[in-house]
Structure 1
């Protein structure tokens, strides 16, 4: 075979006539190809279709459509939306030989040229689909020279793109009158369906309009369009293009078409993604259309009921905990409500978080072995270097367990835990969790940050609570389908996540709304509420294994409302949403991690029991991490037989005394009991005949805070508070200002004085001769 081919080639080369003929044939071909190459080099093909941006839901349906830069609706028709029916109808009507020619149909062109020149009449049909694409990409006046350009561009298109892609270009550029271009735009705006969901009748309707977009306008010329549609259906029947039954059904189908508004669902979400992905014609998201509808309706209806309370808006974010996908996004109760700033996106707004960061603090403290659920903390008035937090109800609870402190959202215990752990650790972990404003303000943040003294976004809080639902592993939210799953970051351990979740799932708590009884089918959830200073922000964020739902309620103008609290305003909406989105679901709950263990602790302190501890209970702890101090809630004392006096070892008599256990309460707790007149077992006064004074038991100056700077209003004559904590046997204290005697007072009596500007020395001495000092700086504001 090979030798035969060589023989033929040799014969050809020896024949000079054949060689001459080859030159004559190849010369123009080579010239044409050279010319085409040069033209392609100097006039490259540029395909920029300028699509209308689309944001789609998880199921592919269009959530929101936007006009393109030319103020036209040109929605991208994807290849999988071009059904065989649509493909056949368009190709058979516009260009039967589309799949056979190289972009130009010579027979049709010569026929059109003959009719135009010889017969003097115009004949349509010379332009192939490829040539129409070239013309629609670069609209020009109809001239012979421009027709040559069109032919050249058609050949370029055929060279660079497949037939399927060229057909896709045509279906995206086909005119449908007014500012509507492309079959997808027409399908959505006239039939409210994607192209791949159209019937045969609807498909043929859209196939016939591009040639006559001004005279066949859907919604205006429906009768004429119906006749034209049926004419083509009869033609397709004759050609056997579609089954007889389908043709018959299509002929019977009425034409019901009018122009509808473009989809404008989930507007805040759509505008956000439009800004985030400006170059993508279609942004494919994970938003669940059904859940989004329920969330929007519930939020809008709920806020309508709040208007009489001076509360006008709300924002909601729903996350699928298993994937971190955003499935519902409601930026405001009503996007069109201009009076109440409905176009503000509350999910992205920076606001005070109230108490919503407390669970994160306690989780971090569990991991560092600082606390366990049953450990007790003191909830009493405390001055933290000039910062004096109060609880929401302005009351204090004395001794309280960690789990109750979190469940009841108490402020002083949280600040104590933060002070013990360190603000820097807390802030650094918040930065790890993606809190942007915290990153900006980290140098300014102090102990108040856990009570709302920092700026957060609803989406940041939502993802933080989703981290609890995922055993302490943080990962970025998944907004669109092309997002890559980032490696998760462990913010805290599964053990800390479980302990915190168990506390937040308790139903014995003050932030249970009055409407809870009506939530019969509410799935088991853990949740936390928060209310910012001035009642400007009400938060309620809950989670289970399935979803995390974050709710913010308030006013976008920043005005507070007396009724605005996380408990009574935020949580009812949270419960409604869980009832709607996870209704009556199985209570698939979290199980204790293997790293957690139980230990017996003293009921009074939550610490490892001593021999005097009479009541014990079981408590979780992290072996090898949790601190193991021994309980000291009691101390053994030497007292007189009548229990009127106590003795130290220096004044202990040879006989006539007994040993007895007394509560070993911290000074601040004793001061609280005294001030509130709460009965407690007091240690008998120390032996008055004892001459020894213990320097380490000098009174502690609780206010003002040592080393603090105070800014005071001169005209308002602001005074500073003097308060001290002293030993139980101390009855009176003596105050000195700059080494000058100021006032004698009872131990727990509040004393005030008017300061002068500058550095001030404050001294406090007790009736045993012991004293302590502190220094403060005072500045006048005017």
Structure 2
């Protein structure tokens, strides 16, 4: 409103002339809502955000869209002869002049047209001591000038849009939504009487407003008791909520809406945005007993990079979960395997070693564990990635080099990796770094687009240029692995939320101590990323990627593909498919994709059965530590050996049983000696190791 008054301000001497030359269109054009409006991709209103904090105004409302009950109530309260006078009510002026001289309570006689003149011109507004005689005269002249060029409907419409009702609420729309939570067209007779009672004294005490509303009700012959009207007045004046909707995109509104009265078109799909928000809220409600309180979703169009859905927070807090940095977990593994395949360091059929691994680092020995704390032995790279095995991933990052993997993650847009590669160490393969859901989902979109990178955008046409950051063939192979239900069944089983009825590639991830849970995947046309967890860092209780984020991912994917097909991508040039077998039969024969020149019909484990007996884990002189973040009852050390057929484990002189398979031992603080012995008790291999930790904790 301040800008409107500046534009329309004039000196006393030209007030009437200024009002005479202003047209209703000019007044409406100069009007500015305090709200900016967010539109979806089809131009439909999605979200409003207050930008101007001086006063609260909503978009201009046409007279036809204002309840007739309110129009009648305002005319009754403010100007009963509005339709008959020419801007000045001579009879009312005479009565007011007499009362001002002799009555105990002076009164005004401003018509609606005169009040409008005061709304349009700052110099005509009444001050604390009232208007001066000269101001009153100029107001009369301005009202007469308005009546000569405006229709009564135009005057009344402008008045209802500019008048103050209560506190910062200016105009009928702000008052209607702010006090009653409804559109101006939906105001009933009681609502209208209350609003009309506020016009004369917008900030009057509750008792004064109630008394005036009761008087207006009697004058209008309303069949309602003053007690009921008083209760309705109390409810309206105590109302705090401005909107009653679910605010479908508040985080996007805060990003894009900066100027009051402006509507900004976004890339969001309105129905999809609302569905994603409702679905995530429902999933969070079902996980509340497992200490899961927050979540976020982002949906991208693979071709354009348009952000179709952006649910920054379904848990009711101000944090934006789409841009917040959280630990990535296993969601970075696809980019590691893609790099290794691209550089021809491995194929999807290559045999990986999923046995215990110790890596010396600057802070001690790093010994990664699998999610289920079991080891699978020899498995293919396809199975290792699809089933999210940790130790093969760590071996792969040692193969590619930490710097190369770090640079690849930067290439696909993970800008949150601000420390050097050595800071993260081998654990970078298991997602030790923090990433945002938006950048992670867009990185998966790179895989969906065959290695081409563009930025994701909330506004049409702002994705920027395209650049190739990975080999199309390697990206295709990784997508084929992530779509392989059989390959992921080793860890997740065949029946889970990751399997869709259309082609899709998907990966889950869970950070250390279950603080973050991810599910990110793509179809032919869309990429969907979901995160659930707690913004305050609390761990979830017994929640995995399949039970936490994956159900939301699956529901959103199903919604997107109700009428849209998704087919597997066509293989790019430079790939070929060939039948492979394993010796020994670690996995069933299958047809596998290869980068040309890396293919082989047979993959064999060489010399395993003939290797000398040895203890693979724990290594001699190892120092193991009890993890304080893992319940004591769940901690285990898995003894591993090679060439151990027919041998037995002996720990500190106690026979533990056959050494043919991994043996699970609950660690106890102290120094220990582990031995492999034959049937005659002869020691064939031995390793001494130490377990550090709180002995008392072991008893709990």
How far apart are 1:408 and its partner, in Å? 1.0
- Alpha carbons 1:347, 1:458 under 8 Å: kept: yes
Is 1:582–2:552 an aligned residue pair?
A: no
Give the counterpart of 1:306 among 276, 279, 287. 287
- Evaluate the alpha carbon distance shift between residue 425 and residue 517 of structure 1 in structure 2; reply closer, same or farther with a 3 A threshold: closer
Instruction: Give SS of 1:318's match.
Output: strand
Q: Which runs of 5+ in 2 are unaligned?
A: 1-12, 19-29, 76-85, 101-107, 223-231, 627-638, 644-672, 678-682, 692-700
Using the alignment, how far apart are the partners of 2:193 and 2:557 within structure 1? 45
- Alpha carbons 2:615, 2:640 under 8 Å: kept: no
Aligned to 1:319: 299
- Alpha carbons 1:380, 1:412 under 8 Å: kept: yes
Following superposition of structure 1 onto structure 2, how do residues 110-259 of structure 1 map, counting pairs within 5 Å? 124-125=110-111, 127=114, 129=116, 132-135=119-122, 140-141=127-128, 142-144=130-132, 147=135, 173-189=162-178, 212=200, 214=202, 221=213, 224=216
Deviations 1:318-374 (A, max 9, x none): 314254444444445531xxxxxx554443432221101111222333333333322
- Alpha carbons 1:540, 1:566 under 8 Å: kept: yes
Following superposition of structure 1 onto structure 2, how do residues 62-77 of structure 1 map, counting pairs within 5 Å? 63=47, 65-66=49-50, 69-70=53-54, 72=55, 74-77=56-59
Using the alignment, how far apart are the partners of 2:292 and 2:419 within structure 1? 30
- Alpha carbons 2:402, 2:421 under 8 Å: kept: no
How far apart are 1:438 and its partner, in Å? 0.9
Following superposition of structure 1 onto structure 2, how do residues 53-452 of structure 1 map, counting pairs within 5 Å? 60-61=44-45, 63=47, 65-66=49-50, 69-70=53-54, 72=55, 74-77=56-59, 82=62, 124-125=110-111, 127=114, 129=116, 132-135=119-122, 140-141=127-128, 142-144=130-132, 147=135, 173-189=162-178, 212=200, 214=202, 221=213, 224=216, 261-263=241-243, 269-270=249-250, 273-274=253-254, 277-279=257-259, 284=264, 285-308=266-289, 310-322=290-302, 323-335=304-316, 342-385=317-360, 386-440=365-419, 442=421, 444-452=423-431
Aligned to 2:79: none
Instruction: Give SS of 1:426's match.
Output: helix
Give the counterpart of 1:619 among 592, 598, 609. 592
Using the alignment, how far apart are the partners of 2:285 and 2:406 within structure 1? 37
Deviations 1:694-741 (A, max 9, x none): xxxxxxx98789xxxx9999xxxxxxxx99999xxxxxxxxxxxxxxx
- Evaluate the alpha carbon distance shift between residue 68 and residue 328 of structure 1 in structure 2; reply closer, same or farther with a 3 A threshold: same
Is 1:751–2:681 an aligned residue pair?
A: no
Deviations 1:520-550 (A, max 9, x none): 9855432211122222222222332354332
Using the alignment, how far apart are the partners of 1:376 and 1:128 within structure 2? 85
Aligned to 1:604: 582
TM-score by length of structure 2 reads 0.62
Instruction: Give SS of 2:506's match.
Output: strand
In terms of Rg, which structure is larger?
Answer: 1
Instruction: Give SS of 2:481's match.
Output: helix
How far apart are 1:113 and its partner, in Å? 13
Instruction: Give SS of 1:446's match.
Output: helix
Is 1:478–2:457 an aligned residue pair?
A: yes
Deviations 1:536-594 (A, max 9, x none): 22222233235433232334443334512213333234334434x33644442232144
Is 1:528–2:507 an aligned residue pair?
A: yes
- Alpha carbons 2:530, 2:549 under 8 Å: kept: yes
Using the alignment, how far apart are the partners of 1:299 and 1:434 within structure 2? 26
Following superposition of structure 1 onto structure 2, how do residues 431-510 of structure 1 map, counting pairs within 5 Å? 431-440=410-419, 442=421, 444-479=423-458, 481=459, 484-508=462-486, 509-510=488-489
- Alpha carbons 2:36, 2:260 under 8 Å: kept: yes
- Evaluate the alpha carbon distance shift between residue 294 and residue 118 of structure 1 in structure 2; reply closer, same or farther with a 3 A threshold: closer
- Evaluate the alpha carbon distance shift between residue 343 and residue 388 of structure 1 in structure 2; reply closer, same or farther with a 3 A threshold: same
Q: Which runs of 5+ in 1 are unaligned?
A: 1-31, 38-46, 96-106, 231-254, 336-341, 607-614, 635-662, 678-700, 714-721, 727-741, 756-782
TM-score by length of structure 1 reads 0.57
How far apart are 1:77 and its partner, in Å? 1.3
- Alpha carbons 1:300, 1:333 under 8 Å: kept: yes
- Evaluate the alpha carbon distance shift between residue 485 and residue 185 of structure 1 in structure 2; reply closer, same or farther with a 3 A threshold: farther
- Alpha carbons 1:352, 1:453 under 8 Å: kept: yes
- Alpha carbons 1:353, 1:455 under 8 Å: kept: yes
Using the alignment, how far apart are the partners of 1:190 and 1:476 within structure 2? 43
- Alpha carbons 1:140, 1:146 under 8 Å: kept: no
Higher relative contact order (CA 8 A, sep 6+): 2
How far apart are 1:451 and its partner, in Å? 0.1
Using the alignment, how far apart are the partners of 2:401 and 2:333 within structure 1? 14
- Evaluate the alpha carbon distance shift between residue 133 and residue 291 of structure 1 in structure 2; reply closer, same or farther with a 3 A threshold: same
- Alpha carbons 1:431, 1:439 under 8 Å: kept: no
- Alpha carbons 1:534, 1:560 under 8 Å: kept: yes
- Evaluate the alpha carbon distance shift between residue 320 and residue 409 of structure 1 in structure 2; reply closer, same or farther with a 3 A threshold: same
Using the alignment, how far apart are the partners of 1:143 and 1:369 within structure 2? 87
Aligned to 2:533: 554
- Evaluate the alpha carbon distance shift between residue 117 and residue 349 of structure 1 in structure 2; reply closer, same or farther with a 3 A threshold: closer
Paired positions, count: 566
Using the alignment, how far apart are the partners of 2:137 and 2:449 within structure 1? 61
- Evaluate the alpha carbon distance shift between residue 449 and residue 192 of structure 1 in structure 2; reply closer, same or farther with a 3 A threshold: same
Using the alignment, how far apart are the partners of 1:219 and 1:292 within structure 2? 46
Instruction: Give SS of 2:395's match.
Output: helix
- Evaluate the alpha carbon distance shift between residue 229 and residue 218 of structure 1 in structure 2; reply closer, same or farther with a 3 A threshold: farther
Of the structure 1 ranges 319-328 and 133-142, higher mean CA displacement relative to structure 2 is found in 133-142
Using the alignment, how far apart are the partners of 1:226 and 1:117 within structure 2? 23
- Evaluate the alpha carbon distance shift between residue 328 and residue 631 of structure 1 in structure 2; reply closer, same or farther with a 3 A threshold: closer
Deviations 1:413-434 (A, max 9, x none): 2223323323223323333444
How far apart are 1:220 and its partner, in Å? 9.8
Q: Cα RMSD (Å) of the superposition?
A: 5.9
